Amino acid sequence: MENCAVGGRLPEKSLQDPVISEINWFINSIYQPAYLKYQKLSKLTRTISANSAILAFVFLSYFGLNTAFPKLNLFAIQTLHDGYDFNIAIVLGLPVFLVALIVCTRQKLNLAHLFLAIMLGPRYHPKLADRKERLLQTLPLLQVGLFLSLFLFCFTPQMVAVAGIINVIIFVGTYMVNRLFGYTSATTRNQIMIHNLKRLRREYEIASCDCGKFELERVQADAFASLFQLEKDNVARLDKEIMGDHYKVHDSAFNIIKGLRK
């Protein structure tokens, strides 16, 4: 008999074990890559959405204040500094942009690659896949940088109104893209599946410890049954989430259209 007491815990089974091999294949070939892929897209869309909400709040607040209290003359100076003094209206809004920049740190920004792309221009030739990923990761920072530049050097009523509307559109758009393509739900679903597979693997290691040949076959059969039941339940959940996300996006779109009509 094999001694199973090793350092206060049961030993792990060999990778050649059929159950362990199958579970590892599901984790490493299907669910872990899917989790990493959708996690990046989920974080990206949620970061852009959060930044858009913050920026829309800033710009529309200035537009609303100017409309409600025109005597404040918020847009008397259209830049941060007019050569004589700082524009207090702009200075008061800068902390909110700082919050948006902090939100950007949720992304892996790859600022070194962004700097090289700016400095080298056409001579910078990373792999296409790497270039696409790095560009996507820097989108939130580019978004905040663009609107911050407009805020600092083009501070007009027309600009804040247009910028506010654009950020509202981006907020709604990223929300709908996230829901329609299921980035966040896919991240959660794959993460839960990985957790369940690892738990099943450990349960099998415990149940099969010190088993005889015939008992081991029964334990393996039970483990395979549980494994494919997990897969079946995951597919059913996937179908349910896809239909639910589509219906929610369509309902949201129709509600927005109805609101605009009113």
Mean pLDDT of the chain: 83
Q: For the chain, what percentages of helix, strand and coil (3-state, to nearest 5) are there?
A: 80, 0, 20
Contact 223, 200 (CB under 8 A): yes
The answer, yes or no, to whether residue 251 has pLDDT greater than 80, is: no
pLDDT tens digit string along 105-116?
876 655 555 555
Q: Is the pLDDT of residue 135 over 90?
A: no
Please check whether residue 179 is in contact with residue 81, taking contact to mean a CB–CB distance below 8 angstroms. Answer: no
What would the pLDDT profile of 206-249 be if each residue is shown by its tens digit?
888 877 778 889 999 999 999 999 999 998 888 888 777 666 66
Q: What is the pTM of this model?
A: 0.79
pLDDT of 28 higher than 90: yes
Q: Which amino acid is at 73?
A: N
Boundaries of every domain in the chain:
18-261
pLDDT tens digits, one per residue of 35-68: 999 999 999 999 999 999 999 999 999 999 999 9
- pLDDT > 80? residue 129: no
